Amino acid sequence: MLRRVPLFAGVEPGKLKLLAFTSDRVSYDVGEALFQQGDTGDAAYVVLAGKADIIVESSSGPIKVAEVETNSIVGEIAILCDVSRTATVKTTTALEALRIRKDHFLKLLTDFPEITIEIMRVLADRLSHTTTELTEARSRARQSD
């Protein structure tokens, strides 16, 4: 199952089995949170099946900023930047995930540079998407002034 996740495509099967054994398979019902904004970043999650919303609290209330789908990773920013969770992740369907503890996740990045590169791609894509949305929002705000 992990081989279907683009992040792990280049990892040999024996190492994937080790990852599966050292990680926890977790299940969530609709409306449950994988973690809350502000929580300690103690694990990353690889979504094996299901969907969830990424929600950020703001002064005007919660804002949905993205969606998480099957074969994607979430929660890695708090681990990589050693900060608290930057958002809440709440399921919109039943969800199955692999919970990879911080120490195992960091070791995985050290042992497999190809995973590190893929994580960089994921983060760069998110940054690009966020920048585009921010630019569009600022443009709309200027037009309404």
Mean pLDDT in the chain? 89
CB 60 within 8 A of CB 16: no
Q: What mean pLDDT comes out for the span 20-31?
A: 93
Quick one: what percent of the chain has pLDDT higher than 90?
Answer: 46
Q: CA 101 to CA 7: how far, in whole Å?
A: 16
Distance between start and end Cα atoms, the chain:
51
CA dihedral 84, 97, 66, 127 (to 10 degrees): 60
Model pLDDT, residue 67: 94
Per-residue confidence (pLDDT) for residue 35, from 0 to 100 = 97
DSSP helix, strand, coil percent of the chain (3-state; round to 5): 45, 30, 25
**Stronger pLDDT, 51 or 108, i.e. the higher one:** 51
pTM above 0.75, yes or no: yes
Structure confidence by residue, pLDDT tens digits, 98-143: 999 999 888 888 888 878 888 888 888 888 888 888 888 888 888 8
Position 75 pLDDT exceeds 80: yes
What structural domains does the chain harbor? 2-144 (2.60.120.10)
- Does residue 38 have a pLDDT over 90? yes
